[in-house]
Structure 1
C-alpha cells in the first residue's frame, strides 16, 4: 500500500472522467483511460487536446506542457490493460450495483496493492466495497465539476479502508493541485452534507411567505455575501437533480428534521418547472438568461417628523452601530426605561419575531419595527414590523434606513428574519458534522469554501459573526417553534459556555 502512485487508470470518459484525466496528466502521471463505449475514450483524447490548446493560447501553459501532458495519456480498449495501474478511479454512472460489479471485475485484473477508488457523489463507499475480497483498498475520491477549476477533492474512508490509502490519495491530490479533505463515509460526505442547510431553510422561509424569491436571494447575497441566492442556485442545478438529493439525504439520515425537504420543490418537479434547463423554475429564463422579478414594496418611505427612537439591542456592537447611525441622522435616542407613545421602537433582535420581542420587552407592538443586524448593515437592512405595527412607523423606519447603494427590505414576521435563520442553520449543521467527527474542522471549512464558494467556512463563519448570536437565534427559534430542526448543536453550546472558538477541536 506504500507504493508511489505513478500509473493511474480512469474508467469513464464522461465530463468527470475527462476532468480527472486532465489534472492527472498535467501533474505528469501516466494515465490509462478506458470506457466501455466504443470510441468514447478516443473522443475524450480529442477534447483534452482542444482544452489544453486553449490553455496554450491563453498563455496558461506552454506548447511543451501540452505535448508532455498528451504523451502521458494512454487510451486503452480493453479493461485488462489496467493491470499495470497503481490506482484505478471509476467515474461511471451513479448506480450501486454497476459500481459493485466493476470493483469485483477490477479485483481480478489489478495487483493486490492497487488502490480502487470511486468518484461517487452520493453512494456509500462501504457498500460499493461490500462484495470485494479486499474492501480495505476501496476508497472514495470525489472530485467536483469542472474538475480542473474546482480545487477540492473529498477523500472518503469506508468502514474497511486502509488509513494509509487516505494518506496516499491526499498527497496525490496535492500533487495534482487540489486540496484534499478527509471525510468519513456518511451520506453527502462533507460538501453535499454541509450544503443542505442553505437551500432547505430558504425554501422553508419562502413557504412561510416571509419574503419573495427575489427578496430572499437579494438579502442572502447582499447581507451575507453568498455568490448566488438559494433559488438562483436551485434553478442553475435543476430541481430534477436537487430535489432527489434533498430527499435522499433526508431518508439516509432516517428523517432527521434538519434535512427535511419542502413540498414546493416536489410540486415544481412534478410540474416540470426545473429551472434554467426548462426555461422556468423559481425564475423565468430566455436563452438561458434569468428574467429579473421586480420587488414590489408593500410600504413606501415617507418623510415623517420622527425625532426620537427607543432602541433595544442585545449585543454591544449592534448598539454602537445603530446609535452612531441614528445620531448621524439627527435622531434622538430615548434612554428612558420605557418608550413614549410617539417613539419608533427599534429592536435589534435575534431569533424571535416582532410579536415575541414586543412581549419580551413589554412594549407596544403598534410602534415596533425590528432590524436584522447579523449581516452586512452597510449593504442590506432587513426590517420586520409586527402584525399591529402602525404604517406610519414602518414608513418612518424605511425613510430612516433607506440609503443610496444599499437595500432596505421589509419582510413579514419571521422567527429569526432571513439571514439569521439561514446562517444559523449553516453554522449549526457544520458544528454537528464536527461533533460527529465526519471530518476535522479545518477540512469542513476548506471543503465548503472551495466546493460551495461560501465567503467563509461554516464553522469559522460562526466565530466571525459571533457564536453567541448564532446560539441565541437557534435557542429562541427552537423554544418558540418547538421544531427540532433548530435545536442547537452540542458543539456550539459547549464552546459558547466555555467561551472557546468554534474552531477549537481536540
Structure 2
C-alpha cells in the first residue's frame, strides 16, 4: 500500500504546505481560504500578469475585510505572509501535502497536469481537482497512483461560499477523501461527499431550476419577470432562474446543461433549451454582455412582473373545506383581510369555495382538465408556496370555462389575503410547485443512484446554491405523496419522460402511505 492510501482520516495540520495550480478567480480564492486557515500556500500560474492580478485581488479582499471589521488587521497580514506566488512549481510541488488544481475545464489538459505533478510530488501528497463537472475517475486514470486523486469542488467565490463537494473517483482511496473532507471542514467549509458522476451533486440537482423555467417560457405560461417574481416571492429563492442565468452567463449555464445531458446519454431530464441556445448564438450572454433575458445596458427598461389589478370582493364570505396547513394560514390571512371565514374540517380535498368558484391547490393537472374530471366548470387552481403564512405572491390559473365574475372573485379573495395574484396560462403543475417538485425528484434520483446521501444532498443544495431549504427536506415537509402525485400528473399530461418519478421518491411515498394507513390486527 502506498503512503497516499495510509493518509489518516483527519484534517491536514495547518503546517502542511498547500500548492494551488491556477491563479484565476477560483484558484486565488482557494489559495486565500487555505492561507487564512494557517497553511503556507503557493499559488502558481504560468502567466505573470494573472499572478499579479491574483495578488492584488487577495490584498483588496483582505483589506475590505479589515475595513468592515470582519478580519483583524494582524490576521490579514499573517494570511498575506503565508502566500507565495510563482511561475514554476517544480521546487514547491515536492513539499506540498495537498495540491489543488483550478485550471481550465478541459479533461486532456488536466490529465497532462496531473501526470506532470505525479512525477514531482511526494508519495503522501494528495492531488485534488476543483473541476465542477469532469470525471475524477478519468482525470486519475493515467496515473500510477490514481488512489490519491480526489475532487475538491469549491463554489465561486471560494472565500464566501460555504460548500465544498469532495468527489471520489472509482479508484480514490476512501481515506484520502475523508482527509480532504476533514481539511475542508477545518477551513470553515460545509464539506459533502459525492461519487464522481456527471454534475456531482449541485450541478446535477440544480438543473430543473433552470430547465423548468425555460420550459414554462417555451410553453408561454408567463413572462420571465413574472416567473422570476413567483419563484422569489412564493418560493423564497434569492434570485429567479432567469436573472440567475443572466448572472452566471448563458454560455456557462448552457455548457453545463449540455455536458450533463450528454454524460447521461441524452436523458430528457437535462435536455438543453432552444431558447437559451438562441441567446448564446446571439451573444446575449447576460450581465457580462449587457443583454440576456434582461437588458443591462444604460438607460434600458425591463418589464415589471405581471399581477392582477385590484379587484373588489363581490362576496366577503368564503368557506374553507378540508384539513391542510395552507387552509389554516389562509383562514387567518382572509380574516385579517375582512373576509368572513367558515371552516369545515371534514374529510375532503382542501379547497376554498366562494361566490360560484372553487379554488384548489395544484395536483399537477391543468385547471381545464381538472374541471372536466371533477365536472366543475368554475375552477381556479393555486400554485404551492413555501410558507403560506409569509408568502407575498402566488400564481393562479383558471379553467377555460371559469366565468369572468368567478375569476374576479378568486383574484379578489387572494388579494384580501395579502397575496399578489399572478394569473398565468393554464398549465401543468404551475410554477413553484412544478419547479420544486422537479428539484426534489432529481435529488431523489441522485440518492437512488448512490451519488450521495439525502442529508448531504440537502446540505449541498442549501450551501452551494443558497436554496432556502434542501429539496428532499421540502418534499418530506409538504408530503412525498403529494409531490409524487404532482409529478405523475405532469408525466401523464405531457408524456415527457423528464417527469418520470424517481424510484426513491416512489418508495418514500409508499412508506408514507403505509404509515398513515389504519392498521388491522387479526
Cα distance in 2 for partners of 1:151, 1:474 equals 32
Correspondence for 2:262? 251
Q: What corresponds to 2:520 in structure 1?
A: none
Residue aligning to 2:116: 105
Q: Give a deviation string over 1:313-345, Cα, whole Å, max 9, x none.
A: 6x633444556666751367899x9x9997222
Aligned: 1:41 with 2:51: yes
Return the alpha-carbon distance in structure 1 between the equivalents of residues 223 and 316 of structure 2.
32
* Pick aligned residue for 2:177 from 158, 166, 189: 166
1:274 aligns with 2:285: yes
1:3-402 paired onto structure 2 within 5 Å? 4=12, 6-38=16-48, 40-81=50-91, 82-287=93-298, 291-296=301-306, 300-303=309-312, 305-306=314-315, 316-322=324-330, 329-330=339-340, 343-363=356-376, 365=377, 367-377=378-388, 378-402=391-415
Q: Secondary structure at the match of 1:429?
A: helix
Task: Kindly indicate whether the alpha-carbon contact (under 8 Å) linking 2:320 and 2:341 is maintained by their aligned counterparts in 1.
Answer: no
Where does residue 417 of structure 1 map in the other structure? 430
Aligned-pair distance for 1:236? Answer: 0.9
Secondary structure, counterpart of 2:90 in structure 1:
helix
The aligned counterpart of 1:438 is 451
CA separation of 1:38 and 1:498: change in aligned 2, threshold 3 A: same
Distance 2:142 2:221 in 1: 50
CA distance in 2, matches of 1:238, 1:341: 46
1:349 and 1:19, CA in 2 relative to 1: closer, same or farther beyond 3 A?
closer
Residue aligned with 1:397, SS: helix
Which residue number corresponds to residue 504 of structure 1?
none
Matched, 1:494 2:504: no
Count of residues in Structure 1 that have an aligned counterpart in Structure 2: 495
CA distance in 2 between partners of 1:465 and 1:171 (Å)? 34
Separation in structure 2 between the aligned mates of residue 370 and residue 40 of structure 1, nearest angstrom: 55
- Secondary structure (helix, strand or coil) at the match of 1:498 reads helix
- RMSD, matched Cα: 2.7
Aligned CA distance change for structure 1 residues 453 and 500 (closer, same or farther; 3 Å): farther
TM-score (norm 2): 0.88
Change (3 A) 1:392 1:129: same
Q: Deviations over 1:332-385 (max 9, x none)?
A: 7899x9x9997222233311111121122222x2x2222234434442232211
Q: Tell me, which stretches of 5 or more residues in structure 1 are unaligned?
A: 502-506
Q: Please say which of residues 427-436 and 399-408 is displaced more in the overlay.
A: 399-408
Contact kept in structure 2, 1:9 and 1:87, CA below 8 Å: yes
Instruction: After superposing the two structures, state which structure 1 stretch, 429-438 or 266-275, moved more.
Output: 266-275
Q: What corresponds to 1:464 in structure 2?
A: 477
Single out whichever of 478-487 and 52-61 deviates more from structure 2: 52-61
Deviates more, 1:276-285 or 1:395-404: 395-404
Shift of 1:295: 4.0
Query: Aligned partners of 2:163 and 2:305: how far apart in 1?
Result: 37
Supply the distance in 2 between the matched residues of 1:234 and 1:296 (Cα, whole angstroms): 20
Partners of 1:497 and 1:375 lie apart in 2 by 23
SS at match of 1:286: coil
Residues 329 and 43 from structure 1, CA distance in 2 versus in 1: closer, same or farther, beyond 3 angstroms? closer
